[in-house]
Amino acid sequence: MKIETIEAIRFTYPTDTCHDSDGHGHPGPWTDTTGAMLVISCDDGTTGRVIAAPADVAEPLLTQFVRPVLTGADPMRHEQLWRALYKWQRGSAGRLTDRLLAAVDLALWDLVGRKTGQPVWKLLGGYREKIRAYGSTMCGDDIEGGLATPEDYGRFAAWLVFERGYKAVKLHTWMPPVPGAPDPKMDYAACAAVREAVGPDVPLMLDPNHWYSRADSLWLGRRLEELKFLWMEECMEEASLSSYRWLSSNLPDLNILGPESMTGKHWTRGEWAAGGACDMIRTGVWDVGGIGPSMKIAHMAESFGMSCEIHGTGAGNLALCGAIANTTYYERGLLHPFVDYEKPRAYQKRIDDEMDEEGCVHLRDEPGLGQALDLDYIEAHRVG
Ligand code: MG
C-alpha cells in the first residue's frame, strides 16, 4: 500500500458562531463559512480524511511540504513520516505549522484505521469504551441572557449539570475585547456563582484570561482553592516557565494544568513536568502536531505520576481519550445558552461526540477516527 494523492477540498457550510477580534467564538447570526477536508488516498483505494481549517492545509503548503514527503510512502510508517515533516519545519520559515503536521497525522491515522478495520482509539491502546465529559463554556460576552454576568454562568452551569447530565464544568470567562475584561474579580464572581449553583461536589475548572500577572493569578488561584476547583489553566503567558513554577508552588490546593498553547510539542511538556511548572499535563492533537506527539506526552505524564488532560473537541482528541489511562475527562464544547451543540454541522451526518444522559461520550467501534462526514454535501458545496 502506497500513498498516491493528498488533496484538501474546500467547501462552504453555515455557522452560527462568530469570532471576535481576539479569535474567541461567540453566538452570532447564521453566515456561510469555509471549511476544508484533507484527504489522503492510497493505490489500493484506502482513504483517510480529517476536517481542518482551510489555512492550515492550503494548497501551496501541500505542494511544497506534504506531497514530497508522503507521495509513494507507506502510510503505516507514522513515526518516519511525522519526523520527516517535523524536521522540515525549521527550514520552512514558519510556514509548516504544528497544525499542518496534526492534519496530516490525523488523516493518516484515519486511513490506517480504515485499512485495518479498527477504530483509532483501539489501535492506540484501547483503554476505555466511554469517558465522562466536562461542559466547556464559550468565553464570556455582553449578550443579554448569554454569558454576560456571574448569574448567567451560574444559571447555565446548573442547566448543564442538572438538565443535561454533565458531571463537571469548565468556565472560560471574559477576555478582551469584551468591555471591562479581563478582571480577576469578575472571574472569581463567576466561579463563585457556578459553585453556588451546582453545589459542593461537582468538579469545576477555570480557563481565564491568558495574560494575567503573577499577582493576579495567585489572587485568583487562592479564591479557586477556597471554592474547591479541580484545576486552573493558562492564566499567564506560557512561555514563562518560571512563572508557572512559582504559581504552582504557591497554590498547594489547586491543580495547575498546562501547557496548552505553548509551542514545542512533547519537548515543552517534558520541561514543564520535570520543572515542576504544573500538576497536570496538557496536550491536544491540534496543539502539538497530532496524535503521535500527544501519545508521547500522555506516556511521559504517566511516568511522572501525572494526568494528561486533553485539550479540545473532535474525533482526534476523543480517540486519544479512549486510548490512554491517565486522563480524566473529554472536553465538550464550546457551549453557550444560545448555541445548539448537539446539532450536526451541515457536513456531518452526526457530531463526533454524542453524549448520553449520564454525561459520558462513547468511543465508537467503527474503523478510523469515527467521523461521520457527509461526503455528498462536501462535494456539492466545493469551492476553489
Ligand atoms: Mg484552555
Query: Whose CA is closest to 187, among 165, 204, 164, 168?
Result: 204
Which set of grid coordinates corresponds to residue 59? 494548497
Q: Give the per-residue pLDDT at 369.
A: 98
How confident is the model at residue 380, as a pLDDT? Answer: 98
Task: State phi, psi for 221 to the nearest 5 degrees.
Answer: -60, -40
* CA-based torsion, 189, 193, 196, 199: positive or negative: negative
| Contact between 6 and 67 (Cβ < 8 Å) | yes
Distance 260 CA to ligand 1 centre (A): 6
Residue 68 CA to its chain's centroid (Å)? 29
Cβ contacts of residue 45 below 8 Å, gap of 6+?
A: none
Report pLDDT for 384: 85
Q: How far is the CA of 311 from the centre of ligand 1 (A)?
A: 7
CB crowding 150-163: b at 16 or more within 10 Å, else e: bebbbbbbbebbee
Question: Can you state the percent helix, strand and coil of the chain, rounding each to 5?
Answer: 40, 25, 40
Dist. CA 17 → ligand 1 center (Å): 18
Name 63's Cβ contacts closer than 8 Å, sequence gap at least 6. Answer: none
pLDDT score of 224 = 98
pLDDT at 303: 98
CB within 8 Å of 333: residues ≥ 6 apart: 135, 136, 137, 138, 170, 313, 341
Query: Position 15: which residue type?
Result: T
> What is the distance in A from the centroid of ligand 1 to the CA of 125?
26
Helix (H, G, I), strand (E, B) or coil at 233: strand
The tens-digit pLDDT sequence of the chain (384 residues) is 999 999 999 999 999 999 999 999 999 999 999 999 999 999 999 999 999 999 999 999 999 999 999 999 999 999 999 999 999 999 999 999 999 999 999 999 999 999 999 999 999 999 999 999 999 999 999 999 999 999 999 999 999 999 999 999 999 999 999 999 999 999 999 999 999 999 999 999 999 999 999 999 999 999 999 999 999 999 999 999 999 999 999 999 999 999 999 999 999 999 999 999 999 999 999 999 999 999 999 999 999 999 999 999 999 999 999 999 999 999 999 999 999 999 999 999 999 999 999 999 999 999 999 999 999 999 999 998
Nearest to 48 by CA among 284, 315, 342, 365: 315
Distance CA 308, CA 283 (A): 7
241 CA from centroid of ligand 1 (Å): 17
Cis bond before residue 119 (omega within 30° of 0): no
Tell me, in angstroms, the distance from the centre of ligand 1 to residue 172's CA. Answer: 8
* Segments of 200-357 assigned E as strands: 204-207, 231-233, 255-258, 280-283, 308-310, 330-335, 348-350
Q: What angle do CA 376, 76, 373 make, to 5 degrees?
A: 15
Distance 84 CA to ligand 1 centre (A): 29
Neighbours of ion ligand 1 (CB under 5 A): 207, 233, 260
Collapsing DSSP to helix, strand or coil, 240 comes out as: coil
How many angstroms does the Cα of residue 22 sit away from the middle of ligand 1? 14
Question: What is the rounded CA–CA span in Å between residue 77 and residue 366?
Answer: 22
